[in-house]
Chains A and B, each alone.
Chain A
């Protein structure tokens, strides 16, 4: 079976790439080890993600606007504070020129996955093999062949690894990663609360790590709902994760400080060790890495999935433009253009995110004062604030057409 690309990994990023290519008439074969239909069941993944406004525009351009309209909660404001200090940094989409566009959306990962699968099934240029195990990947000068465990042979000029943080395709290609662990664990859950969130995302920095309250759309059982991403120190993690729902809710309530009224846990909590990783190169012969297979950062600024979606937008543009020039889609010049485009941007986001986390983790009154004055300073310096806003929206750097909401 022949296609323009073979995408290993049918998660959010891999499937978004298949659909972005489909919108331009390029064919892809998606292979995933998991039964993708089973991952659509409620409760599989209690996580939600922030989708910045530029990647959201891409999702609309490739036909996924409905899920944002139906289930995405617009983030109209972001409020950043050092703990519960009254000095804060405040981003408001409505004070900007392009008032209509929110800063981003909060969306449950599961619902985005459902929408991607629903769009992929009827898509003319997308073939999905899942659950399917990759037995062998052969990358040669004139093309690549992926052989599945059942003997099916897939051929394409290019293989794309979208198989996540522990990418076996990346490992198989011998691409090394720089990585480290933060001494932090993220506790992720959902709360229902008494007062409305007014579409505001709150980022409270505590010395143990950031505490984020991210607005979600209401459901009948919980008309006011938010996602919680709480970073705690590793040594405290076993204690917190053993807490029952009520005790954990009480701990969360202490951090929120009561401004949302009474709260209750409305989803099971899960915990994730936090780390940073960046592949030393995004390309090898007839192979490119995207999404978590290429990079993973601290969730402090909610940029992880957005980096992956920006990879998708840039790669789709590179492949579509190359196809229209009759180029071999696995040619080194094509691969180099994607790598150069994404590597700088991803390195910047990764560096700033890491620095933010380290700055806010410093203990003592001195660093706290610097942070508080820093936040208040950014608040007062308009160009600096505009720059942070653009970063939150995902609008910095040389933007691919899809991030403007346009097809290539």
Chain B
């Protein structure tokens, strides 16, 4: 497929969202910068992805390359905070992002880390149009930034290979998520860049489950992420702020 530098064709991408995150591109890999929060939750979310993939594909979590031989796609990869670990875990990885600035930073960082990742500034729809398919698709903190959900989920379903696994995470639309993510993290603590989220666009687990079912995918797990003083970020049943989930093709 073409590797042009901007997202093209009919897409679910919101241009304003893409531009917003593109401006943060240079700061992605700075653990003390605007992405500090993502760096801190990274071990937790990689653990969720790794464990779910090991269950799905019958791999061992004690293996250093549990994803060896799998084709993986990281949707909304940013500068590659999750994409690079997927490559280290042995997967053959592609990362796509709506912001060409992010893709440029991701490419140069992966090169410096001597990791082979196929980064493209494109949309899920354009990639689905090429007929490409992946065993493992990750889509973390992206759903809430998307314009046309139905088209977005349909494209993901097309991209998921038979027997494949989708792992997603997104904030819930609850009073608590508004208080935590918008008022707390964006306005008061400034631990997330202000304007990063539009609370109205957040989806509840039920809404995501229904939307994925519409696209032919069944949700197989949902777990909430919360922050505990002293312990940090943990997974559990409390889904009112942010949650993770997995989905497979409906039988």
A residues adjacent to B (C-beta < 8 A): 25, 141-143, 322-328, 331-334, 337, 408
Contact = CB atoms under 8 A, between A and B. Distances in A.
Given A142-B112, A142-B113, A331-B31, A325 B43 contact: yes
A333 B42 contact: yes
Contacts of A323: 64, 88
Interface stretch (B79-87, B156-164, B221-229, B236-244): B79-87
Interface string B54-72: 0000000111101000000
Contact of A324 (B29, B66, B84, B112): B66
Contact of B46 (A143, A327, A408): A327
A326 B87 CA distance: 7
Given A331-B31, A333-B42, A325 B47 contact: yes
B39 interface: yes
Contact of A325 (B29, B89, B109, B112): B89
A328 B31 contact: no
Contact of B85 (A141, A326, A332): A326
A402 to B, nearest CB: 14
A323 B87 CA distance: 12
6 contacts: A324-B61, A324-B66, A325-B85, A325-B89, A326-B46, A332-B31
Nearest to B30: A141
B50 interface: yes
Contacts of A143: 112-113
A157 B224 CA distance: 32
Question: Is the interface on chain B under 10, 10 to 19, 20 to 34, or 35 or more residues?
Answer: 20 to 34
B64 A331 contact: no
Contacts of B201: none
A327 B50 CA distance: 12
A301 B105 CA distance: 52
B107 to A, nearest CB: 13
Contacts of A332: 31-32, 39
Contacts of A408: 62
A326 B88 contact: yes
A183 B238 CA distance: 56
Contact of A333 (B39, B47, B63, B87): B39
Nearest to B89: A326
Interface in B20-36: 29, 31-32
Q: Which one of A141, A322, A332, A333 has the greatest number of beta carbons of chain B within 10 Å?
A: A333
B40 interface: yes
Contact of B109 (A25, A142, A324, A327): A142
A287 B47 CA distance: 24
Q: Which one of B50, B62, B86, B112 has the greatest number of beta carbons of chain A within 10 Å?
A: B62
A257 B206 CA distance: 78
Nearest to B41: A333
A115 to B, nearest CB: 26
Given A325-B47, A326-B84, A328-B84, A333 B31 contact: yes
Interface in B71-106: 84-89
Given A324-B50, A324-B62, A324-B66, A333 B40 contact: yes
B53 to A, nearest CB: 11
Given A323-B64, A326-B88, A328-B84, A141 B42 contact: no
A322 B43 CA distance: 8
B113 A328 contact: yes
The 6 closest A-B pairs by CB, nearest first: A326-B85, A326-B88, A326-B89, A142-B112, A332-B31, A325-B46
Given A141-B29, A332-B31, A333-B43, A324 B113 contact: no
Given A141-B29, A333-B40, A327 B62 contact: no
A337 to B, nearest CB: 8
Contacts of B42: 327, 331, 333
Contacts of A334: 43
A324 B64 contact: yes
A141 B85 CA distance: 16
Given A323-B88, A331-B31, A332-B39, 19 more contacts: A25-B64, A141-B29, A142-B109, A142-B112, A322-B43, A323-B64, A324-B64, A324-B89, A325-B43, A325-B85, A326-B84, A326-B87, A328-B84, A328-B85, A331-B39, A332-B32, A333-B40, A334-B43, A337-B43
Contacts of A337: 43
B78 to A, nearest CB: 15
Nearest to B63: A324
Nearest to B230: A340
A325 to B, nearest CB: 4
A326 B86 contact: yes
Contacts of A25: 64
A327 B43 contact: yes
Contacts of A325: 43, 46-47, 50, 85, 89
A337 B31 CA distance: 14
A332 B31 CA distance: 7
A80 to B, nearest CB: 34
A328 B85 CA distance: 8
Nearest to A25: B64
A324 B85 CA distance: 9
A327 to B, nearest CB: 6
Contacts of A331: 31, 39, 42
Contacts of B85: 325-328
Contacts of B50: 324-326
A125 to B, nearest CB: 11
A83 B46 CA distance: 56
A141 B27 CA distance: 12
A143 B29 CA distance: 13
A333 B47 CA distance: 14
Contacts of B31: 331-333
B40 to A, nearest CB: 6
A119 to B, nearest CB: 21
Nearest to B36: A332
